[in-house]
């Protein structure tokens, strides 16, 4: 149920994303142009990297964006063979009619092995005209320089406590749930700017009651 909350309340457009103003302002410009370069989103978990990637893709392609998107968690597909088969195979196919490129989103790209990153770099070069890559990572230092240099790099910061609190209370209102103030303060303290973690904590039965 908690994971459903994360997905149900995920912002659908870049303009809807709260916090990360410097990042959002630049991504909105890409949305308006309906195109973007390869992107690298770096920062701690729960700061909006996946949300930003999916929202930008939706902004560019509309509601059918999933037809033009390959989404992979690189921590599960970290070996060279996955890059050669799944990623290269998708990159070689033509974009959906009416669009000029497709998108490959690799979450947790810093989990890729060095060999896999080398193969990824070559695919990025070979298919740059018809494929854009969005990579997210916790640590950009674990991404090889040859990939970083081909991307516009965005730094995501932990969300401020007041921003997280505002977002959580908005979720609570839409779910018809009241959170006790002491519990709210405790969750803010332990979430450390990670909105996803706070949503998961917020679903703990002893912290709230249904209206």
Quick: pLDDT tens for 97-117.
999 999 999 999 999 999 999
Output the CA torsion sign for 188, 194, 195, 196: negative
Note down the domain range covering 14: 2-155
- Sorting pLDDT into bands at 50, 70 and 90, what band is 182? low
pLDDT of 163 strictly over 50:
yes
Using CA atoms in the order 146, 22, 74, 45, what is the torsion angle rounded to 10 degrees?
130
| Max Cα-Cα span within the chain | 55
Looking at the DSSP bridge assignments, the partners of residue 73 are 107
The verdict on 127 and 197 lying in the same domain is no
The verdict on 122 and 171 lying in the same domain is no
The verdict on 116 and 16 lying in the same domain is yes
What tokens appear for 155 in the block? 């730094």
d(CA 53, CA 13): 10
- Sorting pLDDT into bands at 50, 70 and 90, what band is 2? very low
The verdict on 169 and 133 lying in the same domain is no
The verdict on 30 and 101 lying in the same domain is yes
User: Which of 46, 150, 61, 158 lies closest to 108 in space, CA to CA?
Assistant: 46
The verdict on 147 and 132 lying in the same domain is yes
pLDDT cut 70: percent of the chain above it: 81
**Where is the domain boundary, 155, 172, 193?**
155
pTM: 0.83
The verdict on 84 and 140 lying in the same domain is yes
User: Which of 134, 162, 159, 168 lies closest to 55 in space, CA to CA?
Assistant: 134
The verdict on 165 and 148 lying in the same domain is no
Q: How many domains does the chain have?
A: 2
């Amino acid at each position: 149920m908690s994971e459903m909350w994360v997905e149900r309340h995920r912002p659908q457009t870049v303009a809807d994303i709260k916090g990360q103003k410097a990042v959002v302002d630049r991504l909105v410009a890409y949305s308006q142009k309906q195109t973007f370069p390869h992107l690298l989103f770096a920062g701690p978990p729960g700061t909006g990297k996946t949300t930003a990637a999916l929202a930008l893709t939706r902004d560019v392609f509309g509601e059918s964006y999933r037809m033009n998107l390959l989404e992979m968690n690189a921590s599960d597909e970290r070996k060279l063979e996955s890059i050669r088969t799944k990623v290269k195979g998708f990159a070689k196919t033509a974009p959906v009619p009416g669009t000029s490129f497709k998108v490959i989103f690799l979450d947790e790209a810093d989990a890729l092995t060095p060999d896999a990153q080398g193969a990824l770099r070559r695919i990025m070069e070979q298919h740059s005209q018809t494929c854009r890559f969005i990579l997210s990572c916790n640590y950009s230092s674990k991404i090889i320089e040859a990939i970083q240099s081909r991307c516009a790099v965005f730094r995501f910061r932990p969300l401020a406590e007041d921003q997280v609190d505002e977002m959580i209370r908005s979720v609570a209102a839409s779910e018809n749930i009241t959170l006790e103030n002491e519990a709210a303060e405790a969750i803010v303290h332990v979430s450390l700017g990670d909105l996803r973690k706070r949503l998961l904590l917020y679903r703990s039965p002893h912290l709230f009651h249904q209206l």
